[in-house]
Every structure is written in C-alpha cells, then in structure tokens.
Chains A and B, each alone.
Chain A
Amino acid sequence: MKGRALPSILLAFGVVYVWFAYGITLDPWSAAEPVNSRTLPIAYGSILILLSTFLLVRGMRVHVPRHNLLRLTSISASIIGFGLLLPRVGVWPALILLLVSCLMIMGEKRWHIFILAPLLASLGGWLLIEILLGVYVEPGTFWS
C-alpha cells in the first residue's frame, strides 16, 4: 500500500508555514540584514515542501494499527480533561483524576490499584515538590 495521506499533510504544513513566513513583520533594521526574520523560515518551509513532494510522488508505507484507536482517543480526552481541570482544581487533584481515568481506560480492574495508586502518587508528588522542595504550585481557582 502506498500511503499518500501523510506526505500530503506534510506538504500542506509546509505550504501554510511558508505562507505565514511571508507574513512575518520585519523590524526597520531588517532592510540591512542579508538574512532577516523571514529568510530561514521560508528556506526551511521550502525544503519541507520539496522533500514532501518527493515523498508524495514516491509514496510511503504507513501502518497505523486501527484496532485500538478508541483507547487512544479516550486517553487524549482524559488529557484534555486534565488540561481543563488543572487551572481550576490545581495540579495534584487533577493528576489523581488523570491517573484514575487512564488506568480505567487501560483496563485496570483492581479498585485498590486504580484508586490508591493515583492518590498515593499525587500525595507523594505534593509532599516532595511543594513541602520538601518548597516549589510554589498554583493551587487552582476553585480553592480561592
């Protein structure tokens, strides 16, 4: 099977990147610069366009295992959830939820593992980072 999807995406990325590279604002001093803020981005983008065109013509073999994309999607969703909760409840509670949901998605059934392990990990992290090392971590808007 000759995959063309990925090379096409790369090509599109290159084109969009070069398009934006032409839109970079130049400061007044750039006029005197042989290599200004746009030069290298345009060069890199053009190389990518060239190479991905070559790959597109030649085709490449891609094998993404399809059977477990559901699991990948659920994990991505829990990461998004983590990112959304983080500023609200703080990193440690959010970390517990992330771990619990990932453990469940991965099929961990023993409740003492998927409840206790995240709790202990979070507690340990908090003790180590905030108490022992004295790093200040935002507590989250929910608590204030």
Chain B
Amino acid sequence: MWEGISTGIATAVDPINLCWVVIGCVVGTFIGMLPGLGPITAIALMIPISYGLDPAAGLIMMAGVYYGAVFGGSTSSILINAPGVASTVATSFDGYPMARAGQAGRALAIAAYSSFVGGSLGAIALLLFASSLAAIAIQFQSPDYALILVIALSSVAAFADRGQILTSLIAAVIGLMLGTIGTDPSAGVQRFTFGQLDLSDGIPFILLAMATFALAEAFRMTTDRSEGPIPSPGKNSVRLYPGDARDMAPTVSRSSVLGFLIGVLPGAGATLASFIAYDTERRLHKKVNRVRGIAAPESANNAACTGSFVPLLTLGIPGSGTTAILLGVMLSYGIQPGPRLLETEPGVFWGVIVSMYIGNLILLALNLPLIPYISRVIYLSRKILIPFVIAFSMLGVYLTTMNPFDIFLMLGIGLAAFLLRSAGFPLAPLLLGFILSGMLEENLRRTLYLSEGSLTIFFQSPLSATLLTVCLIVWTIPLVRIANDLRRGGNPRD
C-alpha cells in the first residue's frame, strides 16, 4: 500500500495534475456558491472539458469540482439562509443566526476550517481504509438501511427546544407526508399528484429547502418591523474567536469520522451525514453552541463526500447522483472502477485520493481570503437584501428544475412555512422528515416484502441487531421527552 501511496503522491504533484486540481476546486467552489447549482450541475458542466484530458488529470479535476462545490455550498446557507445544496441545510441552523448576530465572517471561517478538516480527514481515511470499508458497505441490506433511517429520524428531538417537542414532531410528520408526493418508489403509482405531471417526480428538495428557509425568512423580515439592524462587524471578522478552536476540535473529529462512515454507505450521502452529525452534537452538549452547530455538519458533509468515493472506486457502485456522473466519466476514459481498479490503474486510484488532500488545502487557501468580501452581503439594508434573497432563491430553484410551475409551488410552500414559523414550529424537522421519507419507505417496504411481514428480519443478522439496539437507545430520550411534554400540558412555548 505504501508503494501505492507514493505512486499517488507522484501523480498528484505532477505539475499538470496540480494545475487541474486547482481549476477543479476553483470552478467547483464558485459553482457551489451559486444558487441552486450544486455538485451535480457543476460536474455535469465540466464533462465536456474532461474529455480532452488524460484519465488521471480528468478525474482529479472532476473530484475537485465535486468536493469544491460541497465546500462552497455553505456560503449561501450561512449568509442568507438559502441552502443551495441539500448537504448544507444543516449548516444554516446555526450558521445563519450567527451571521445575523453580526458574526458572518466568523461563521464562514468556522465552516471553511471544518470543511477543510472534514475533507482532509476523509481523504486520509480513504487512503488507509478504502478497500476494507468496501467489504463492510456490502454487508448492509434493506433492513439495516431502514434502521439507520429510523435512527436518523430520532434527531427531530435535537431540533426542539424545551416545550417544542410536539411542534417539532408535527413538522417531521408533515415532512414525511410531503415526501410521499409523486411517483411511488416501489410500485410506480402516482400519489397525491392529482394528475399533475409537474408533481410526478415529487417536490424537489432544493425547492422545499429554499421555500422553508430562505423564502419564509424573507417573508418574516418583510412583516417584522421590530428587528434592529445587524451589528456591524469587527475589524478582523474572519478570525475565529479565542476558544473556537477548542470547541471545534472534538466536534470536527467526531463529525468527520461519522460523516465519512455514512458517506461510505451508498444512498445515505452527505445530507444525511450532516443532519446526523448535527444531531449528535446537540445530544452530547446540553447547551446550544453555534460554533459546534456549524462545525459538525460542515465537517460531516465534506467527509461524507470523500467517503462516497469508497463504494465508487472499490466496488464501482455510485452512492449518489453526483458519483453516478463521476462513474460515467471514469467509464468514458475506459477506466472500470471496482475491486480490480487498484491493480489496473494504481496511478489513477492513488492519485485521485492524494489530490483530494491537496485540493482541500487549496480550497481553504481560496475561501478564507474571500470571506471578508462575501460576508458584506449581510450588512446590506433589508430594503435591498430581501428582494435579492427572494430573487436568488427563485432563480436557484428555476435553474435546477427549469419548470415555471415550481415558482408557484415554492410560493405556496413558502407562505405555509412562514405561517408555521410564526406559530413557533421548527422547520428543520420538516426537511429532515422529507429527506428521509422516500428512502425510509423504500427500504421498509423491501424489508417487509422479503420477510413477508415478519419483524424478526430486524434481528436476523448481527448488524441489524446492533442497529436495532442503537435505534432503541436513541429513541428512548425523545420518547421520554414527548411523554413529559404531553403530560405537562399547558402552553408549548413556555
């Protein structure tokens, strides 16, 4: 393996390849910052360019575009509460409030450092454990996925402040319900589409995220006159505060490991990783700490993005839409990822992995100096900021789906979300429910179809049994809280 790593280093520091990793990262991070243009679009746009390159350079560049886009995706989440990429939704939970409190630069810096550590640790883990992890990823079957999703669902409790558990639960259920709209993932029948072709693919996640976060927030700001101006930034607003690094260190290391492992599982991906990491931190620390709240999802989603290369490179199985496109690119070079990739193309395999480490360094060096300029957005007067946030989120959704119908859908959801927010409903659980809905149903249905309805399938394998135990543990706390909440009665917002 050490031999492989040295081949990889040799490939990665080749001047031409270095050049392409820089180009990939720059393009990726800028496209990632744009509304609605996530990693998928970024990669798809670069396909024509990749044709002209040799395989190692091409893949190094494309990988750079991918993690660069994930790296840059947090910017709009933090600054204007408009998560352009699903995996940065969780970043906005604490990032946006911090930015509103006049610490946009600090929030962006935390995100950049966490992304860097997450991405780099991910690259190291990929280097060391890729082949052994692939063997584990292959053990997961539908019951295990179903259990993981139920575990993830328990994090609705993490988004609830005291007395909010009921509203949080309702929001999660609404999210699950919205997730059932569209074509049934098993039977292919249409559900709740009312014959509308525009609904048959379901509500796009980006639309729901933009509507419930960016739009609902913009609506709140238009109606609420009481809010004062945002405190102006200090001189060195990019710097972390003393103690931030200490707060971040354990969080980032935990979340990176967690994110990487979730990223390895095909289908779970960076979004789920960021939610679970956020939830874990909320559970471990009673007090809300915004630094950890940004660090956790940002390190997790970048680590997960690197982790998703494990099944891609070692099994030839893409776990997400983005890695599926990368697979297509590899095949178009005549490279077949899979167990034999290590033997057939050691230069490409190790080169791509080592380049990720370099790429993350470049991304950090690229993003930090930009923060003071980008973060000025938030100090614009509301008169100007709100119209632009609205236009930005509409444009983001339209450019993703190219469907004018979605503008109206987004307005409707935005207004409903505004109403729910005004009533004190947390909206993060709604998004979580929505993300999990489709996958949960699909895996649950497969599981019970296989077992013909018997629940014993959930403790048939040691893996499932372990996951079931974890599942029971993580659900105990929220259930106790729900019971308390219900028993106490009275006003939920006390």
Contacts and interface: CB of A to CB of B under 8 A. Distances in A.
A33 to B, nearest CB: 5
Interface in A6-52: 6, 10, 17, 20-21, 24-27, 29-30, 32-37, 40-41, 44-45, 47-48, 51-52
Contacts of B186: 33, 37
B160 to A, nearest CB: 13
Interface stretch (B72-80, B232-240, B311-319, B398-406): B398-406
Contacts of A138: 402
Contact of A98 (B225, B394, B419): B394
Contacts of B41: 135
B31 interface: yes
Contacts of A107: 383
Contact of B180 (A30, A40, A125, A133): A40
B170 interface: yes
A62 B407 CA distance: 27
Interface in B190-246: 190-192, 219, 222-226
B491 interface: yes
B interface bracket (residues with beta carbon within 8 Å of A): 35 or more
Nearest to A136: B402
Contacts of B345: none
Contact of B449 (A33, A76, A134, A137): A33
B467 to A, nearest CB: 19
B222 A72 contact: yes
Given A61-B424, A137-B399, A34 B189 contact: no
A interface bracket (residues with beta carbon within 8 Å of B): 35 or more
A60 to B, nearest CB: 6
Contact of B407 (A37, A65, A67, A79): A79
B485 to A, nearest CB: 10
Interface string B401-426: 01010011001000100111011100
Contacts of B34: 128
Interface of B: 31, 34, 37, 41, 45, 166-167, 169-170, 173-174, 176-177, 180, 184, 186-192, 219, 222-226, 382-384, 386-388, 390-391, 394-395, 398-399, 402, 404, 407-408, 411, 415, 418-420, 422-424, 441, 444-445, 448-449, 452-453, 486, 489-493
18 contacts: A6-B423, A24-B192, A25-B189, A27-B189, A35-B441, A37-B187, A40-B176, A41-B192, A44-B177, A45-B177, A48-B170, A60-B492, A68-B222, A86-B404, A95-B391, A98-B387, A102-B387, A108-B383
